Amino acid sequence: MNLVKADIDQLIQQGKLTISPLLDPKQVGDMAIDFRLGTDFLVAIDGSNPFIDASLNNNDKFPIKNSFQETRRKLGETFLFHPHQTVLASSLEYVKLPRDVYVELTMRSSYLRLGLSLASIVQPGYCGCFSIELTNVNKIPVNLTVGAAIMQARLFKISAESNYFAKRRKYMCQVRPLISAVATDGDFIHLHEIWKRNNYHT
Amino acid sequence: MNNRYFRTSFILAYLLFFMLNRHYMLYSYNPENEKLTQFAVLLDRAVKGEASYVSVVNDVIHQTHQFAAGEKTLYDINRDLTNIILLLSEADKDYFEHLADNPEKYDQQTYQRVLSLITPNQTTTV
Amino acid sequence: MQPKLLELHFSQLQTEWVTSKYNNYSDDRKNIYHEKLATIIEGLGKEDFASLDDSQIQERYWVIFFVFKSLEFLNHSTRSTIPFEMVYVLEVALKEWSPGDDYIIVTSLTNGMNEFSFDGSLSFYPFIYTYIENLYSVSFDYKLVQINLPESTSRDYLANVVLYHELGHFIEKKFAITRVIYAELLAAIRRADPAELNNIYRYFPYLRLPAKVDEFEKRYEEYNQLSMHISEYFCDLFASQYIKDCSNFYLEYVTLNQAVESTTHPSTINRIIFINEYLDNKGGFVLSEYKRIVERITGIEIGYKGKDFSTANFESLIPVEVKELSELHGLFHYGWKVWLGEWENIRQKAEIQFTLSNADVYAIINNLIEKSIGNFIVKNEWELIKV
């Protein structure tokens, strides 16, 4: 069920949904909440790594962190978004979702028209700033303002509650974008072992 | 905890070595000592008749007089000048105590005298 | 000093300026400051150092020092990774003690593990500003103060409470507090009141030796043992006004509870006793002298300047909604309390079904402190502008 303004307002009042800071109550729209661009960025760079290694087969020789650079801006400052650049950012708002509500996060239409895209799902019970992975698919750079409402979240209620912390989470209460922890995926160890068996064992 | 003031820059030490060699050979990086050196420069300019420094120099001398004469205490004197005032006053309390209360009466002779008090006070620590 | 050596110094500055002159700052005050440096460098460039006498050369030496030091601060502050949340909180404390002064706080991230410091040297040299105004008709509306903190722990708000102590060093220098306490303690020793003496000897045991007292009386040195110990006690006291006993935690953390004094620092045990006596509203002659002297010089009473708040937000994994400036300081105490407390509270409140590691809790506390401060800054800035 897609939650509407009255539902969202009620959840906030009951303390079941935290959005901090909610600078303008008008951010809560009829069927979605506008979220703002946060202050911290991780920008993909041409570092010393020849590629971003999403595997364990190279013994962590090319750590992902070498391909990203951290930068910060203050509210009202701008961030220049180059064509085809991948940037990790966060929502300005810290969010704690109810255990039975998940979020679909997309760019606001005005920003989609600039060539920026985003599609993300946030699980029930999540807490932290939304992590957003942005790419400028336009041919020209786009200058974004920190604090601008660039994305919207639609909230959906599910039939059963789920505990976000029933299992260990890679990202807890994050307030800045974090480097991908893809290498800690359990599957990777499994796949790496298969690769080793196929390549090193007689 | 580290204190930035302890860090002696090589270049600073090197240049100070030459700059201050009239009075001593080695020098420790010490803000109060440096402030005194900077005041000595003002005094020297005032001795040489540079009018634009006279009011600043007169203010230090006048506050030292007020402190020596008991008109001002440790608590009333300018915080930036505290150590200089105390040093001058300790160097020749009698002189400052009996100095004119009107700074306009201070002249080249006064500045020369104060300058001569400062030079031996810029003691050296290695 | 030979003019050639000054020329060497100026050449170094010119070389530095080749890259620094293109610095671009987000804070317009820094741009204005930077333009003034450009005027000074232009003025220096037009001068013939060989024609100057000794004191004129010294003037230029200090002016060049000033420009170099300013650039040292400003060059780092173009970096866009500064922990502005921490800087904001320290600025709040600085303004309480120095409301009339205009400072631009800049930050430098250092490589050393415990390299925390406050470099206020550009605000302690009033005569250099006199030279600059006289020689180049340039006056500065703002003075630069630099906060140095280790890059590796720049987001560690538990460790960064040390910066309150470092701010204390800046304040005690600005008001010449150590110098006055130094004089008053030595005067008390000469008065020889047994109760006062006992209390002084407790914190400064070496003052039992008459020869030491004579030595300290004979000459005040900014870096002699007594003045440095006085200064350290003051900075601990200053910090505890904002972060209470967290100052003891960082002391233990940094010094490993050192039982014996060094030439630069009193024993950690004594420092902790001093702070605890203050926090427990006890204390003898030395503490009351510190309080009296500080209030007389600054007009500000030593006392808790943070504000406690009752919340279990961190345990519920959400930031604290800070309502007033004084609560910002309380965040550090709250963070330490959570760190030292039972993490079961977090697990229960947040219904976490796995074992929380040290690293988990460390990240949670630091993230939530940072976001609590950040939200306060953002809300304030948002509400300041009425559109």
Torsion sign across C-alpha atoms C348, C353, C358, C364: negative
Q: Give the start-end residues of each E strand in A45-85.
A: 68-72, 78-81
Cross-chain Cβ contact C371/A96 below 8 Å:
no
In this complex, do C297 and B79 lie within 8 Å of one another by their Cβ atoms? yes
Residue C176 DSSP symbol: T
User: Which pTM was predicted?
Assistant: 0.89
Most confident of A178-187, B113-122, C357-366: C357-366
The pLDDT confidence band at residue B120, using thresholds 50, 70 and 90, is: low
B vs C, Cβ pairs < 8 A, gives: 115
CA atoms of B50 and B55, how far apart (whole Å): 11
Measured between alpha carbons, how far is A73 from A78 in angstroms, rounded to an integer? 7
Chain mean pLDDT for chain B: 78
Predicted pLDDT of residue C219: 84
- Judge contact between C307 and C325, C-beta under 8 A: no
Within 6-25 of C, beta carbons closer than 8 Å to B belong to 9, 12
Q: Where is pLDDT greater, at C321 or B2?
A: C321
pLDDT in tens, chain C (387 residues): 788 999 999 999 999 999 999 988 878 899 999 999 999 999 999 999 999 999 999 999 999 999 999 998 898 776 677 788 998 999 999 999 988 778 888 888 888 888 888 888 898 899 999 999 999 999 999 999 988 888 888 899 999 999 999 999 999 999 999 999 999 999 999 999 999 999 999 999 999 999 999 999 988 888 899 999 999 999 999 999 999 998 788 777 777 767 788 888 999 999 999 999 999 998 899 999 999 999 999 999 999 888 888 888 999 999 999 999 999 999 999 999 999 988 888 888 888 999 899 999 999 999 999 999 999 999 999 999 887
Q: Could you confirm whether A161 is annotated as catalytic?
A: no
CA distances from C304 to A141, B84, C179, C330, C333 (A): 50, 33, 24, 10, 12
The answer to whether the beta carbons of residues C83 and C107 sit under 8 Å apart is yes
Q: What is the pLDDT of residues A31-87, one digit of tens each?
A: 999 999 999 999 988 777 777 777 788 777 777 777 888 899 999 999 999 998 889
Cα C174 from Cα A65, distance rounded (Å) = 42
- A102-160 tens-digit pLDDT: 999 999 999 999 999 888 999 999 999 999 998 888 899 999 999 999 999 999 999 99
Predicted pLDDT of residue B36: 92
Residues 6+ apart with CB under 8 A from A58: none
Segment B21-43 shows an average pLDDT of 69
Cis, bond preceding A21 (omega within 30 deg of 0): yes
Pull the structure tokens for residue C36.
């003034």
Half-sphere exposure of C82 (CA within 13 A, CB side): 24
The CA–CA distances, whole Å, from A52 to A55, A89, A184, C228, C271 equal 9, 18, 15, 52, 50
Which residues, in sequence order, are CB contacts of C292 under 8 Å at separation 6+? none
H or E segment at C268?
A: helix C268-279
Instruction: State the chains in contact with C (3 or more Cβ–Cβ pairs under 8 Å).
Output: A, B
Q: How many C-beta atoms lie closer than 10 Å to residue C357's C-beta?
A: 11
For residues C143 and C105, give the distance between their C-alpha atoms in angstroms, rounded to a whole number: 8
The answer to whether C74 and C36 are in contact (CB under 8 A) is no
Q: Given CB atoms, is C358 within the 8 Å cutoff of chain A?
A: no
Beta-strand pair A116-117/A127-136: antiparallel
pLDDT of residue C330: 94
Mean pLDDT calculated for residue range B50-77? 96
Confidence label for A189 from pLDDT (cuts 50, 70 and 90): confident
Touching chains A and B? (3+ Cβ pairs < 8 A): no
State how far residue C124 is from chain B, nearest Cα, in angstroms. 7
pLDDT at B119 over 80: no
The C-alpha atoms of residue B120 and residue B24 are separated, in whole angstroms, by 10
Closest Cα partner for C100 from C163, C181, C177, C175?
A: C175
Contact C81/A at CB under 8 A: yes
Distance CA A191, CA C214 (A): 76
Quick one: pLDDT at residue B26? 32
- What is the rounded CA–CA span in Å between residue C33 and residue C38? 9
Query: A165, C374: Cβ pair inside 8 Å?
Result: no
Q: Strands A78-81 and A142-145: what pairing?
A: antiparallel
Tell me, yes or no, if C119 comes closer than 8 A to chain B by beta carbon.
yes
Rounded to 5 degrees, φ, ψ at C176 are: 55, 40
CA A125 – CA A34 distance, rounded (Å):
19
Query: Which chains reach chain A with 3 or more Cβ–Cβ distances below 8 angstroms?
Result: C
pLDDT in the model for residue B15? 36
Cα-flanking dihedrals φ and ψ of residue A41, to 5°? -140, 145
- With contacts defined as CB-CB under 8 Å, which chain B residues touch C65? 12
Please provide the DSSP assignment of A109-150 as one string: HHHHTTTEE-EEEE-TT-EEEEEEEEEE-SSS-EEEETT-EE
Residue C235 near residue C172, CB atoms below 8 Å: yes
Residues of C in contact with A129 (CB under 8 A): 371
Structure tokens, C267:
């024993």
- In angstroms, the CA C68 to CA C252 distance is 36
**Cβ-based contacts of C378 with chain A (< 8 Å):** 21, 23, 75, 92, 147
- pLDDT at residue B8 greater than cutoff 70: no
Looking at residue B2, its pLDDT comes to 42
Closest Cα in chain C, distance from residue B104 (Å):
20
Residue C74 and residue C119: Cα distance in Å, rounded?
13
Cα separation of C124 and B36, whole Å?
Answer: 12
Which pLDDT value is given to residue B121?
53
Q: What angle do CA C77, C130, B95 make, to 5 degrees?
A: 135
**Residue B29 pLDDT:** 54
**Is the pLDDT confidence value at B47 over 50?**
yes
Does C353 contact A167 at a Cβ distance shorter than 8 Å? yes
CB C297 within 8 A of CB C175: yes
H or E stretch at B19 = helix B10-19
Give the ipTM. Answer: 0.90
Task: Tell me the DSSP string of B7-73.
Answer: PPPHHHHHHHHHHTTTT-S-----HHHHHHHHHHHHHHHHHTT-GGGHHHHHHHHHHHHHHHTTSS-
Residue with tokens 């401060």: C373
**Closest to A93 measured CA to CA, from A26, A148, A174, A20:** A20
Handedness of CA B100, B102, B103, B104 (dihedral sign): negative
CA B77 to chain centre: 14
Contact C151, C111 (CB under 8 A): yes
Would you state the torsion angle of the CA atoms of residues C310, C314, C316, C321, taken in this order, to the nearest 10 degrees? 60
For residue B18, the model assigns a pLDDT of: 36
What secondary structure letter does DSSP report for B6?
G
Q: How far is C209 from chain B (nearest CA, A)?
A: 23
